[in-house]
Structure 1
Amino acid sequence: MSKQDNTLHFGDVAIQILSNSDELTLAELVLPAGAVASVHQHPHEEVNYVVSGVLDFMCDGEVTTLRPGEAMRVPPNQPHNITCHPEAPGVVLTAWSPSRQDLMAVLAK
């Protein structure tokens, strides 16, 4: 993981924090074509809205393909990940509630 300004990099995935409060964090995720985010889970509710690209969202073992204009909710503590289709990069707006103070702490270092 590396950081630059308000952007964190987890492997190939760039996460730019757009807004943060006590209750909500909003970020833009940029995934190169073919990128796969590692399976992870956290105690935050998450909503993903696809801006561009075609992405497979795996949540608790089920895969849903989303295209621009589509969204998906990930409940707290559910294993999940994102895979970007190989034809084009993907951009996703992601909101977490409560806020991702863990990510903010990394940015503050």
Structure 2
Amino acid sequence: MNFKDLTNKSLIADNDIDWEDLGAGVKRKIMAYDENLMLVKVDFEKDAIGSVHNHPHLQLSYVARGSFEVSMGEEKKVLNEGDVFFAPTLVYHGVRCLEAGLLIDVFNPHREDFLK
């Protein structure tokens, strides 16, 4: 399934979407989006890094599996399965995977850079 197909779908099966290998032990699946909202699964191998970055989007991330050291601005905290972090607009944030894991990221608006 390509990214354009996702904008017209309301019921989406995980198996219908391929993982995109980002390298260095990280891969993602864009599960669904429209112009205002996007849900992305991001899978991390142990010790993989989600480098510190910022963006104009609001981001909520749910730890679906594993353990992550999360940096948010000047703060760092270990988050585990069931925990959540919120990245406000333009705040620098990143993760280091302590135990192989999966993040469920939600963005507002959608991340156009992910679709290229």
Give me the TM-score of the superposition, normalised by structure 2: 0.79
Is this contact kept in 2: 1:56–1:83, CA < 8 A?
A: yes
Gaps of 5+ in 1: none
Count matched residues. Answer: 100
Paired with 1:70 and 1:40, the residues of 2 have a C-alpha distance of 20
Match in the other structure for 1:59: 72
Q: 1:84 aligns with which of 81, 87, 97?
A: 97
- 2:26 counterpart of 1:13: yes
- Offset of 1:53 from its aligned partner? 0.5
Match in the other structure for 1:22: 35
- Offset of 1:102 from its aligned partner? 1.4
Q: 2:46 aligns with which of 12, 27, 33?
A: 33
Match in the other structure for 1:48: 61
AA of the residue aligned to 2:68: L
- For residues 55-75 of structure 1, the C-alpha deviation after alignment (integer angstroms, 9 at most, x for no partner) is 111011211211111111110
Structure number with higher relative contact order (C-alpha < 8 Å, ≥ 6 residues apart) = 1
Match in the other structure for 2:108: 97
Gaps of 5+ in 2: 1-16
| SS at structure 1 position matched to 2:71 | strand
Q: Which has the larger radius of gyration?
A: 2
Percent sequence identity over aligned pairs: 25
Q: Let me know the Cα RMSD of the aligned residues.
A: 1.7
After TM superposition, the runs of 4+ consecutive aligned structure 1 residues lying more than 4 A away are none
Give me the TM-score of the superposition, normalised by structure 1: 0.84
- Offset of 1:52 from its aligned partner? 0.7
